[in-house]
A and B are shown apart, each in its own frame.
Chain A
Amino acid sequence: MNNEFDRRDFLKVLGWSGTAAALSGCGNGMVENGKETVVSYVETNDYMIPSVSVYFNSTCAQCDAGCSIMGRVREGRVLKLEGNPNSAINRGKTCGLGQAGVQHHYNPDRVREPLLRTGDQGEAVTWDKAYALIADKLKGVSGEEIAFLTGGVSGHLKVLLGNYLDSFGCKNHFVYEAIAPAVVRAANKKSYGVEMPRFNINKAKVVLSFGADFLGAWVSPVHFSQQYAQFRKGVNGQRGVLVQIESKMTITGANADRWLVVRPGTEGILALGIINALGSHGVTIPGDVASAVKGYGKERVSKDTGVSAEQIDKIAALLKARTPSLVLVGNAAEGYAHGSQNAAAINLLNQVLGNVGKTVEAPAIVPFPQMAPATGNTASLKTLNDGLAAGKYKVLFSYAANPVFTAPGAMKFRDNMAKAGFKVAFAHYLDETAMQADLVLPLDSALEDWGTQVPEYMAEGAQINIQQPLMETLHPDTRGMGDILLALIKQRRAEEYKKFDDFYGYLRSAVLNNKSALGSGSIADDDIFWNETLSKGIVKLPGAAHASLSVKSGVAGLALPQPAAIDAQYPFQLIPHVTGSLRDGRHTNQPWLQESPDPMTTIVWDSWVEIHPKRAAELGIQEGDIVEVTGKNGSVKVQAYLFPGIHPDAISIPLGRGHEAMGRYAKGYGVNPFQILDMVFDKETGELALHETRVKISKTGERVIVVKDEGPVGGKQLGQKIVPLMTTDKVNLSKEI
């Protein structure tokens, strides 16, 4: 094997060797070359048995958690994705979002050829022309005048991107993930010395979660779901207890033993109140912490948060009695102007309870810092946006981010983007951002492309995930992001990169150059090691070092504001809810996700606003009423759903829907709450405070029938034994299999 093979020939060879890689179609030639000859299965390729499926390992790209997947491939087509049991992250499991990965690949609305816009006109162009155009536009442009926006990237793609930007002396790599836990990362860094420690839900006897939707959409949900299952089984029949504190019930809240509705924004106050109560229950509290929580007696905290004093006592008693516990801080607590303060106060609980080092542990780190995931959120986008507004950038690249859809409307990203001279979008779909670009370059799907991925949340030992094609490209004119970057970097540093025909070659040589560091052990032969790596789909680095936790008392500088008074004009707090299946809306064009009912409301194909039934009754709102939700930055009209799991002073609209572009399954369904968010930022990190938007609601007089899975009886058992409950004092789990 050598680099003279073209990439697809190479795949066939690997397949033939029986160890790895994808399969060809049914012929000897390439469909895309127009040379396909149909050969009957009487003469199949050696590695292909008609009707027998073969599984190939790769990495799920539907979110950044880095679950390893096995693609079921039959007759050259990938049919289904299963979890790879050998990954410590997902252990053979997948979420619904991951299952829908095949619909990203087979999506009928994918961009299929490079598109160039001239004025109002769009035309398809060749790749040669597209590359030539980029080279032309970059001529005489300095590094400061180039901006490269991406979503979270890691692995060799990030390395290559860094090298490309270096070739211009460009430092403008903006990383933007609209719903990433940016404030929590910063708070963790302060409290524990690392941004993303390992959380051992399975070792905790009590989990106290402040709005961390770890079973739904938070950080690494498939991994946490498995930990959760172990936690529920417990040790010696003592089942783990989950207490969830949040203003809008997530599916994690729906699974809690006690779900406590808290006044939006007062999560930090409650955390300090619990520390105070722990003190009165006889838990030793360090002096500085004790004086910081002195003013947080349970009566005052109860008044501020709406959580009863009796409940605070119960939590403190439980936390004292059952150790170790684990306290988590999620996006519901960080989404405020004082989000950093909230998070610091909540992390303080872990320190007081002695959980650090037990259920909060140091993560393993991949010993290649250049491959570590690049993370960022709205603070980074804001810098880009300000630069664009000032006309600083002549060329803007955008990859794996859709800020026109996800940035608050008040940022005017769409208008500011227009000020860049030349805008290039690398895209799977013509989404809102690609629609604003001058040049759209079509990408291979995640199931057609090569890559490596380093997960931000490292489950056990360090691991690097391998992404490999599960089948040939569906469309002849799409390219892998790595291939495009390599072509672009060759425009700058031809000599250095000419030895790589494609990103595959780059990746292979990069992996083989570090063979021993990647644990090749006794395998001396490059080909054997490479094939093993691909067939496993994961490079595990058991010897990798762990970061060290440095626990700092977060008391210094801790100052929580009084709960905000209710604004008479805008009496409701808007909670933009992150759902497990739609997240920030990048996968909304996958119809399985549109038709997968929201677990809490069972609504499909549309947005809704959740209102507490008590408040709805006061306002005369019934289910299906179209209400107008108006804030300082615009309004949306959306159907009402009466939902008991929400604070009466809050309303919630799910994120992810309301696309104006993207494709047939996304466009025109629902509303986009990102557009009406207030521009309030966390004071310490400068990240967008996602939960700080205040709104009013008014009936429009229209009413629709809410399209949902639940029947008219709506979640009642009517005296039947359908989903009974047993209490822990009765059940004996230790007897179970």
Chain B
Amino acid sequence: MSLSTLFADYSQFRHRHPDGDVPHNPYKWAMAIDLDACSGCNACAVACYAENNLPVVGREKFSHGQAMHWMRIERYWDEDGREFPDQGARFLPMLCQQCEAAPCETVCPVGATNHTPDGLNSQVYNRCIGSRYCSSNCPYKVRYFNWWDYPTTDNVWPAEMNMQLNPDVTVRSKGVMEKCTFCMQRLRQAESDAKTQGRLVHDGEVQTACQQACPTSAISFGNLVDPESKVHKQWRAQQVDLDKHEQAKDEEPGGSDLRGYRIYEFLAPYPSIMYLERVRETEI
């Protein structure tokens, strides 16, 4: 097999989830983020700190690139060389894309990061040995390593601050990798409640912390295999298919007039987050 055939039909050779005989059932958690609504205000990121016991690392460690923000806002400028950015900036909320064929999973020497039946890319903290291969292999750079033992580090969670820690979320110790979980503690709670009541989680029943805070409601989240969910409808309307690394709509002459896209789709990680392109007015 030549390299070009490999690239042309990469998706056939790539191990991915779900396998044909084990479909996502009954859940596949996914997101859609509307960049035309996102204002870049950072509320999502702070909400994530509050929900997921993220340590505040301080100025020095931040300068070494050791920030632990599972959700971060990236700011981009237009690259047309104008003197002033007179069409504003572009903001991008970046978090783990919960890839279906996650590049991080295949390189973990101990299988600490792998796929869950409901479509999450999970990180098993007590299996992780801290090789950090996963972080190297992540195209989105959304994995964060515990270089320090934050619970015992001065002024991370000093007395009283520690009382805010979310008891549903593990406080991670030194030497393990961590990342966005799509607020797995909330998902598990909702899934378990639904199961107890003999039903499925209905759309809107569970929100991620970032989605719940977002002042412009730019983030929608839900079960992609539930035809009634907003996320499912949005993905359908935007003609973005989870298991494709090239979307048919992009092949149309002149490009599509739909806004949905996934970042680095061509790498075939099959990300579970669809973004909706930012829009700019032409009349002004």
Query: A residues engaging B (CB < 8 A)?
Result: 51, 74-75, 77-83, 90, 92-100, 102-103, 106-108, 215-216, 221-222, 225-226, 228-229, 232-233, 239, 241, 243-244, 249, 251-261, 314-315, 318, 321, 474, 580-581, 591-597, 599-600, 602, 604-606, 614, 644-645, 664-665, 669, 705, 707, 709-710, 715-717, 720-733, 735-737
Tell me the nearest residue of chain B to A306, going by C-beta: B84
Which of B21-29, B103-111, B119-127, B273-281 contacts its partner?
Answer: B273-281
Do residues A705 and B63 form an inter-chain contact, with CB atoms below 8 A? Answer: yes
Partner of B278, one of A82, A594, A709, A724: A724
Do residues A103 and B213 form an inter-chain contact, with CB atoms below 8 A? Answer: no
Do residues A96 and B234 form an inter-chain contact, with CB atoms below 8 A? Answer: no
Partner of B215, one of A102, A225, A260, A644: A225
Which residues between 36 and 53 of chain B lie within 8 Å of chain A, taking CB atoms? 36-37, 39-43, 45-47, 49-51
In the A-B complex, the 9 residue pairs with the smallest Cβ-Cβ separation, listed nearest first, are: A225-B215, A96-B46, A605-B59, A257-B281, A229-B216, A254-B89, A591-B56, A723-B90, A707-B63
Select the residue from A252, A594, A595, A716 with max chain B CB neighbours within 10 A: A595
Point out the residues of chain A lying under 8 angstroms from B257, CB to CB. 726, 730-732
Given contacts A251-B39, A261-B84, A596-B42, are A604 and B59 in contact (CB under 8 A)?
Answer: yes
Provide the B89-133 mask, 1 if CB < 8 A to any CB of A, else 0: 111100000000000000000000000000000000000000000
Do residues A725 and B213 form an inter-chain contact, with CB atoms below 8 A? Answer: no
A549 to chain B, nearest CB (A): 27
Which residues between 60 and 96 of chain B lie within 8 Å of chain A, taking CB atoms? 62-63, 67, 69, 72-79, 83-92
Point out the residues of chain A lying under 8 angstroms from B4, CB to CB. none
Name the prevailing secondary structure of the B interface residues.
loop
User: Does B144 make an interface contact (CB < 8 A)?
Assistant: no
Do residues B284 and A229 form an inter-chain contact, with CB atoms below 8 A? Answer: no
Do residues A259 and B36 form an inter-chain contact, with CB atoms below 8 A? Answer: no
Point out the residues of chain A lying under 8 angstroms from B73, CB to CB. 597, 599
Do residues A221 and B40 form an inter-chain contact, with CB atoms below 8 A? Answer: no
User: Does B244 make an interface contact (CB < 8 A)?
Assistant: no
User: Does B264 make an interface contact (CB < 8 A)?
Assistant: yes
A259 to chain B, nearest CB (A): 5
Given contacts A257-B87, A737-B237, are A106 and B261 in contact (CB under 8 A)?
Answer: no
Partner of A715, one of B76, B215, B275: B76
Point out the residues of chain A lying under 8 angstroms from B261, CB to CB. 721, 724
Do residues A232 and B36 form an inter-chain contact, with CB atoms below 8 A? Answer: yes
Within the assembled complex, what's the spacing in Å between the Cα atoms of A265 and B36?
30
Partner of A595, one of B36, B62, B216, B259: B62
Point out the residues of chain A lying under 8 angstroms from B180, CB to CB. none
Given contacts A225-B39, A229-B217, A732-B257, are A241 and B281 in contact (CB under 8 A)?
Answer: yes
Do residues B233 and A221 form an inter-chain contact, with CB atoms below 8 A? Answer: no
Within the assembled complex, what's the spacing in Å between the Cα atoms of A704 and B116?
44
A–B complex contacts, Cβ < 8 Å, 19 sampled = A83-B213, A93-B217, A95-B43, A96-B42, A96-B45, A102-B164, A256-B87, A258-B281, A259-B85, A644-B77, A645-B89, A709-B67, A722-B92, A722-B263, A723-B76, A723-B91, A725-B278, A731-B279, A732-B257
Do residues A597 and B72 form an inter-chain contact, with CB atoms below 8 A? Answer: yes
Do residues A592 and B41 form an inter-chain contact, with CB atoms below 8 A? Answer: no
Chain B interface residue bracket vs A: 35 or more
Point out the residues of chain B lying under 8 angstroms from A721, CB to CB. 261, 263
Point out the residues of chain A lying under 8 angstroms from B212, CB to CB. 82-83, 92-93
Do residues B89 and A707 form an inter-chain contact, with CB atoms below 8 A? Answer: no
Within the assembled complex, what's the spacing in Å between the Cα atoms of A732 and B20?
35
Tell me the nearest residue of chain A to B209, going by C-beta: A80
Within the assembled complex, what's the spacing in Å between the Cα atoms of A241 and B279?
10
Do residues A314 and B284 form an inter-chain contact, with CB atoms below 8 A? Answer: yes
Tell me the nearest residue of chain B to A95, going by C-beta: B43
Given contacts A106-B163, A599-B91, A722-B263, are A717 and B79 in contact (CB under 8 A)?
Answer: yes
Provide the B219-262 mask, 1 if CB < 8 A to any CB of A, else 0: 00000000000100110011000000000000000000111010
Do residues B50 and A80 form an inter-chain contact, with CB atoms below 8 A? Answer: yes
Which of B11-19, B152-160, B170-178, B194-202 contacts its partner?
Answer: B152-160
Do residues A727 and B280 form an inter-chain contact, with CB atoms below 8 A? Answer: yes
Provide the B162-197 mask, 1 if CB < 8 A to any CB of A, else 0: 011111000000000000000000000000000000
Other than A80-B51, A715-B77, A725-B90, give 16 A-B pairs with Cβ distance below 8 A.
A80-B209, A93-B214, A106-B160, A232-B36, A318-B284, A600-B75, A605-B58, A645-B84, A709-B67, A709-B74, A716-B77, A720-B264, A723-B92, A723-B277, A727-B282, A728-B279
Do residues B163 and A259 form an inter-chain contact, with CB atoms below 8 A? Answer: no
Partner of B50, one of A102, A228, A604: A102
Partner of A222, one of B74, B78, B167, B215: B215
Point out the residues of chain A lying under 8 angstroms from B79, CB to CB. 716-717
Do residues B280 and A106 form an inter-chain contact, with CB atoms below 8 A? Answer: no
Within the assembled complex, what's the spacing in Å between the Cα atoms of A716 and B75?
9
Within the assembled complex, what's the spacing in Å between the Cα atoms of A229 and B214?
11
Tell me the nearest residue of chain A to B264, going by C-beta: A720
Within the assembled complex, what's the spacing in Å between the Cα atoms of A614 and B84?
10
Tell me the nearest residue of chain B to A665, going by C-beta: B155
A616 to chain B, nearest CB (A): 13
User: Does B9 make an interface contact (CB < 8 A)?
Assistant: no
A488 to chain B, nearest CB (A): 28
B260 to chain A, nearest CB (A): 9
Point out the residues of chain A lying under 8 angstroms from B67, CB to CB. 595, 604, 709
Within the assembled complex, what's the spacing in Å between the Cα atoms of A465 and B73?
32
Point out the residues of chain B lying under 8 angstroms from A725, CB to CB. 78, 87, 90, 277-280
B77 to chain A, nearest CB (A): 5
A353 to chain B, nearest CB (A): 16
A484 to chain B, nearest CB (A): 22
Partner of B234, one of A258, A605, A705, A737: A737
B166 to chain A, nearest CB (A): 6
Point out the residues of chain A lying under 8 angstroms from B63, CB to CB. 705, 707
Tell me the nearest residue of chain A to B141, going by C-beta: A711
Do residues B42 and A581 form an inter-chain contact, with CB atoms below 8 A? Answer: yes
Do residues B216 and A225 form an inter-chain contact, with CB atoms below 8 A? Answer: yes
User: Does B57 make an interface contact (CB < 8 A)?
Assistant: yes
Within the assembled complex, what's the spacing in Å between the Cα atoms of A213 and B216?
15
Tell me the nearest residue of chain B to A52, going by C-beta: B189
User: Does B138 make an interface contact (CB < 8 A)?
Assistant: no
Point out the residues of chain A lying under 8 angstroms from B259, CB to CB. 726, 731, 736
Do residues B50 and A253 form an inter-chain contact, with CB atoms below 8 A? Answer: no
Do residues A664 and B50 form an inter-chain contact, with CB atoms below 8 A? Answer: no
Tell me the nearest residue of chain A to B263, going by C-beta: A722
Within the assembled complex, what's the spacing in Å between the Cα atoms of A715 and B88?
13
Within the assembled complex, what's the spacing in Å between the Cα atoms of A81 and B89?
30
Point out the residues of chain B lying under 8 angstroms from A77, CB to CB. 163-164
Do residues B278 and A737 form an inter-chain contact, with CB atoms below 8 A? Answer: no
User: Does B161 make an interface contact (CB < 8 A)?
Assistant: yes
Tell me the nearest residue of chain B to A643, going by C-beta: B85
Within the assembled complex, what's the spacing in Å between the Cα atoms of A721 and B92?
12
Tell me the nearest residue of chain A to B283, going by C-beta: A318
Do residues A709 and B215 form an inter-chain contact, with CB atoms below 8 A? Answer: no
B224 to chain A, nearest CB (A): 13
Point out the residues of chain B lying under 8 angstroms from A241, CB to CB. 281, 283-284
Tell me the nearest residue of chain B to A81, going by C-beta: B50
Within the assembled complex, what's the spacing in Å between the Cα atoms of A720 and B277?
14
Point out the residues of chain B lying under 8 angstroms from A727, CB to CB. 279-282
Do residues B283 and A599 form an inter-chain contact, with CB atoms below 8 A? Answer: no
Point out the residues of chain B lying under 8 angstroms from A720, CB to CB. 264
Within the assembled complex, what's the spacing in Å between the Cα atoms of A95 and B213?
7
User: Does B35 make an interface contact (CB < 8 A)?
Assistant: yes
Within the assembled complex, what's the spacing in Å between the Cα atoms of A727 and B278?
8
B157 to chain A, nearest CB (A): 9
Select the residue from B41, B83, B277 with max chain A CB neighbours within 10 A: B41
Point out the residues of chain B lying under 8 angstroms from A592, CB to CB. 46, 49-50, 56
Tell me the nearest residue of chain B to A598, going by C-beta: B42
Within the assembled complex, what's the spacing in Å between the Cα atoms of A106 and B67?
22
Point out the residues of chain B lying under 8 angstroms from A715, CB to CB. 74-77, 89
Select the residue from A99, A256, A709 with max chain B CB neighbours within 10 A: A99
Do residues B280 and A251 form an inter-chain contact, with CB atoms below 8 A? Answer: no
